[in-house]
Amino acid sequence: MTENAQSTQATASGDNYAVIIRDMHKWYGEFHVLKNINLNVTKGEKIVVCGPSGSGKSTMIRCINALEEHQQGDIIVDGTELTNDLKNIDAVRSEVGMVFQHFNLFPHLTVLENCTLAPIWVRKTPRAEAETLGMEYLERVKIPDQANKFPGQLSGGQQQRVAIARSLCMRPRIMLFDEPTSALDPEMIKEVLDVMIELASEGITMLCVTHEMGFAKTVADRVIFMDGGEIIEENNPDEFFDNPQHDRTKLFLSQILEH
Amino acid sequence: MSEAIASQPQRNIISRLWNDKETRSVIIQIIAFAAIFAFFFFMVRNAISNLESIGKDISLDFLSQPSSYDISQSLIEYSSRSTHFRAMIVGILNTLLVAVFGVILATLVGFLLGVLRLSKNWLTNRLAYVYIEYVRNVPVLLHILLLHGIIVHSLPLPKNALNLGDAAFLTNRGFFIPSPNFEPLFWVVTGLFAAGIIFSIWFSRYAHKVQDATGRHYPVFWINLGAIIVVPVLAYFILGSPITWEIPELAGFNFKGGMVVRPEFVALWIALSFYTAAFIGEIVRSGISAISWGQTEAAAALGLSRGRILNLVIIPQALRIIIPPLTSQYLNLTKNSSLAIAIGYMDIVATIGGVTLNQTGREMESMTIVLLLYLTFSLLISSFMNWYNKRIKLVER
Ligand SMILES: Nc1ncnc2c1ncn2[C@@H]1O[C@H](COP(=O)(O)OP(=O)(O)O)[C@@H](O)[C@H]1O
Ligand SMILES: [Mg+2]
């Protein structure tokens, strides 16, 4: 984990960045949802994004794999700029994994088929090979015994772990998490966080929207605080939690700590 | 005291049986079945004895007597000297004709309407919505009568027929279109078509196996389309178009030669199809929109293309929601085709359940036959759809 420490002061050479967001703005109709976002994520860096509900956290990370369109500024993911070119978008999406708050598993496919779908149809992997790969990642998230069940037969925590395995089967270089534990019952949060912590130790680039402060302290290289569509403050986790600079950050932290 | 003890075990058995969930449901079913059977036995026996007392026995002999009535549209050889049985067959074929064509057209238009309803374009969406609401809220009988009225009253007499390129003629007596005469070479085209279907079944399996083994994708859809459609069409032209068309010609007051599509058929077919399509459109729309947007996003985030998302994620899930109510729309269309009698289309009800019944006075027999025929059609349709539903469930599950 020590190698991550240097990443914050990495040189400006574009090769070192997994994600570059430059002067980015987004509107929903008249509503200016993201305002002048600037964020460089170095390769292997772990970033936790937090902020009050409605502050634009989901919208921002969804822009990174073009699930949302931005209207101004640049987003460059792994050297590929996101434009209207569908080829670019597909290329970026197959390199960027995403885990959603509500899992979004495919209910008509078994757990293993959920994992092999994209390798087979996007990467053109032979089925047997895709299944081996799927089982490998199901083992990593510790549910190989559920491979032939349907998502509806699993608990929330198990479903979210399948969703993580499904993304990993595409061997992404960047993983995006949008509040992966906030739809889970408290007793299931740990099993998902454990998987994420293990994943973090493997050098993948991670952007994670979460309010799990323990996770942020263990894993994050940087914590980013958003409010009203802007990045208000960013710092390493120790400084961020112990010594917040802005009033809005202090207010937010006091609210989630009370909670 | 001793009495009470003696009767205790007996009461226990009965109350135990009655309180056992499974035995109780068996008992209730036996009682219900016996009651229904007794009721029908009573009714049928009464009917038979009542009919006998006015000198009518139950008999199907009338079916072999000459019908002595004409039928305007017949798919098989028929004249007024044919038997009532043959008239019934003509009626069955006419019902099947309008039902099969109706189901096909209703499905095509219905799916189109459903997709239009989901379109983000405000105008197409609204137009489809207005169409669906209008059509669904007017009784189908009115649609049939209206369309029939329009065809019969707004189209000209044969001598002033609307001439479509000297080949087809629209009149109020029907649409006269060229009829094909197949030359021997045409069977080559038919053979290629059949071979194309067999090839594409084999090729789909082969492509699947190759994909499983090597990951390689073939454009299965386009190759199959080529085998089934393009090859036979090319062969048709290479063989010098081995169909000669017999063009209808005006002879006296009417057209001779070619084929005629009767206004009653057109009115019934179009009205039933477009009426049922409105319901199917709503079923398709709600089936597809029941699949949450999250499914599309998750698939997109994995890098799947739009077409694949639709084919692999959305449609398999939507079909499961769509098929059961779609089945009941097919049944409705088939049963609604009995409204044919309102415009004189000679279907089952108009032949055996109409003219034959009136001429022979055999209402018990005729009505039973009509009832059994509709029941058979309905059971056939539902069992086919159930089979299809199970199949897609097995494939996708
Ligand atoms: N599709 C949309 N159309 C219009 N407004 C939206 C849409 N999605 C989100 N918003 C608005 O954008 C703002 C930011 O949303 P979101 O990024 O989901 O916030 P967060 O994830 O931080 O809670 C919210 O005010 C939300 O209401
Ligand atoms: Mg959110």
| Residue B270 pLDDT > 80 | yes
What is the reported pLDDT for B56? Answer: 76
Confidence tier at A3 by pLDDT (50, 70, 90): very low
Lowest mean pLDDT among A152-166, A218-232, B158-172, B271-285: B158-172
| Residue B276 pLDDT > 80 | yes
What is the reported pLDDT for A8? Answer: 39
Mean pLDDT across chain A: 90
Q: Is the CB of A33 under 6 A from ligand 1?
A: yes
Find the CB nearest B297 among A67, A163, A170. A67
Q: What does the block give as tokens for B205?
A: 């399996």
**Which three-class secondary structure state does DSSP give residue A10?**
coil
What is the reported pLDDT for A111? Answer: 96
Q: Where are the beta strands (DSSP E) in chain B?
A: 162-164, 168-171, 174-177, 179-182, 243-246, 249-251, 254-256, 259-261
What is the reported pLDDT for A120? Answer: 95
Lowest mean pLDDT among A76-80, A196-200, B250-254, B372-376: B250-254
Percentage of chain B modeled with pLDDT above 70: 96
Asked whether the beta carbons of A76 and A20 are under 8 A apart, the reply is: yes
Confidence tier at B9 by pLDDT (50, 70, 90): low
Confidence tier at B1 by pLDDT (50, 70, 90): very low
Please choose, from the candidates A129, A134, A128, A99, the residue with its C-alpha nearest in 3D space to the C-alpha of residue A116.
Answer: A134
| Residue A4 pLDDT > 60 | no
Q: Determine the length of chain A.
A: 259
Q: Which residues of A74-95 are buried (b: 16+ CB within 10 A; e: fewer)?
A: ebbbbeeebeeeeeebbbbbbb
Q: What does the block give as tokens for A237?
A: 């986790």
What is the reported pLDDT for B8? Answer: 57
A127 touches chain B (CB under 8 A): yes
**What is the CB neighbour count within 10 angstroms for residue B101?**
16
Mean pLDDT across chain B: 89
The H or E element spanning position A233 is strand A230-235
**Which three-class secondary structure state does DSSP give residue B226?**
helix
Q: What does the block give as tokens for A258?
A: 């009370």
Confidence tier at B395 by pLDDT (50, 70, 90): low
Q: Is the CB of A182 under 6 A from ligand 1?
A: no
Percentage of chain A modeled with pLDDT above 90: 81
What is the reported pLDDT for B183? Answer: 87
Query: What is the interface pTM, i.e. ipTM, of the complex?
Result: 0.90
Lowest mean pLDDT among A28-42, A54-68, B248-262: B248-262
Atom 6, ligand 1: residue with shortest CA distance? A28
pLDDT digits (tens, 9 = 90+) for B137-147: 999 999 999 99
Q: Which ligand is nearest to the CA of A55?
A: 1
Cβ distance B303 to A120 less than 8 Å, yes or no, reads no
| Residue B323 pLDDT > 60 | yes
Q: What does the block give as tokens for A33?
A: 């949802």
Contacts of A102 in chain B (CB under 8 A): 294
| Residue B10 pLDDT > 90 | no
Q: Which of A195-204, B8-17, B163-172 has the highest mean pLDDT?
A: A195-204
pLDDT digits (tens, 9 = 90+) for B345-386: 999 999 999 999 888 888 888 999 999 999 999 999 888 888
Q: Is the CB of A210 under 6 A from ligand 1?
A: no
Residues B8-35, mean pLDDT to the nearest whole number: 82
How far apart CA B156 and CA B171 sit, in angstroms, is 5
Q: Which residues of B touch A (CB under 8 A)?
A: 211-217, 292, 294-295, 297-305, 308, 312-313, 316-317, 320, 396-397
